Amino acid sequence: MNLSLDEGKLFYDLYAAILSFVNRKLDVAPEPFSNAAEYMSVSPEERLAIRDALFDKRELIDEFVAENPAQLSAEQLRIVSTWKDALPGKFYVFRYLNKHAVFLTSDNSPTKAYGVVGLADPMEFVVGPSLPRLVTTVLLPFQGKIIYDGLVSGYNITFGGGIKRMLNEKYKQAKESPGIITSLGTQSGTLKTNGLKKKRSAKRKKTSAAAASPANEAKSVAAEITELTDGFCEKFLNEEYAKLCRELASALARKRPSPLLRGKRETWACGIVRTIGWVNYLDDPAQKPHMKLPVIDRAFGVAESTGQGKSKSIRTMLRIGSFDPRWTLPSKKESNPRTWIVQVNGFAIDARYAPRDIQEAAFKKGLIPYIPTNQATEEM
């Protein structure tokens, strides 16, 4: 469902008016604009910057209404004033329904489902047919509906079956209570579906309480992060990288308290892929696959400094060093010199050249991947 032509024109006129006001107040973009046509000629980057400035300083909405520089009617000013209830953030576009598209919140709080109406084009044309899709936008109240502000940025991430099942369960829970939210602010409303029986609801509440424990929450977050790293590795790397990224996410989830409970999923996924890539010299052109590490940051929508910092934090927490055998790709482990270093009577030696009894003892303790003399015999 879209806004009508008249509704769409009204929205763009009002939105251009207040963003023009914000731009004059804060001097965000060099070129001023005064109407919707001029606003649409401004670059997307500048429009985003002005939009973000507005919702960082929402008191500008009250100033705009008080000064009324665009000479708007009382009803038009009322519409603009409702935008103080705007909801910026990241959302999963989960499903297209006849009346609206369903946007699910992506933060750690209880999931909410919003019914969002398109502007000039159907949401399917804007977001694409393949769902779910993670996007960043601003949801706005508009004449009893929820719309987006015309500025949407998506993430080039493919989600696997695990995160799709997780989102489906969250959607079902949100639809049951409080329902699909169809307006924002003081006139907010929901579309509720038939509730389950009290017995089943009580059981779900009990299960939800158990799932809310830090350990279970860390596992749930790790599963979401793993879906992100799996999608990235499937598209750009290989299964060896995907497996090590899953193991690294699990290792972080097992720490107490788990660091995964703080920060964004995309940032953790970026840091994990970066860490495995760093250990295996992914940015070395001689390696296959090969990728510059800043490319990872861009794929997850993370600043390069943030990706570097998260990777360093992970390496510090888990004491991960260069050529670390624990995080070396299986196909590269044999050629990794640190794979074969063992301590014997306080001295570090290369197990490949040690006596057979030392090799056997090291193998039994899991310090080396196999007994080199056995491998040599098999090859002969």
Whether 32 maps to a domain, the answer reads: yes
Whether 294 maps to a domain, the answer reads: yes
Q: Is the dihedral of CA 323, 326, 330, 335 positive or negative?
A: positive
- Return the residue matching tokens 């059981």: 203
118: three-class secondary structure by DSSP? strand
Q: Are residues 77 and 130 in the same domain?
A: no
Indicate the residue among 31, 59, 84 that finishes a domain.
84
Taking residues 222-228, report their average pLDDT. 91
Looking at residue 34, its pLDDT comes to 84
Write phi, then psi, for 121 (nearest 5 degrees). -115, 150
- pLDDT, tens digit (0-9, with 9 covering 90-100), for 122-172: 888 888 888 899 999 999 999 999 999 999 888 878 788 888 888 998 999
- pLDDT, tens digit (0-9, with 9 covering 90-100), for 260-308: 998 899 999 999 999 999 999 999 998 889 999 999 999 988 899 999 9
89: left (phi over 0), alpha (psi -120 to 50) or beta: left
Looking at residue 362, its pLDDT comes to 78
- Least confident residue range of 46-50, 94-98, 210-214, 231-235: 210-214
Q: Which domain holds residue 233?
A: 214-330
Q: Are residues 365 and 316 in the same domain?
A: no
CA distance 160 to 239: 14
Whether 362 maps to a domain, the answer reads: yes
Whether 78 maps to a domain, the answer reads: yes
Contact between 127 and 101 (Cβ < 8 Å): yes
Taking residues 320-338, report their average pLDDT. 80
Q: Give the chain's domain count.
A: 4
CA distance 232 to 248: 15
> Which residues are registered as beta bridge partners of 343?
348
Whether 278 maps to a domain, the answer reads: yes
Band of the pLDDT at 76, cuts 50, 70, 90?
Answer: very high
Structure tokens at 74: 């009382």
User: How far lies 130's CA from each of 114, 134, 301, in Å?
Assistant: 19, 11, 19
Whether 199 maps to a domain, the answer reads: no
Whether 113 maps to a domain, the answer reads: yes
Give me the CATH number covering residue 108: 2.40.50
**pTM exceeding 0.85:** no
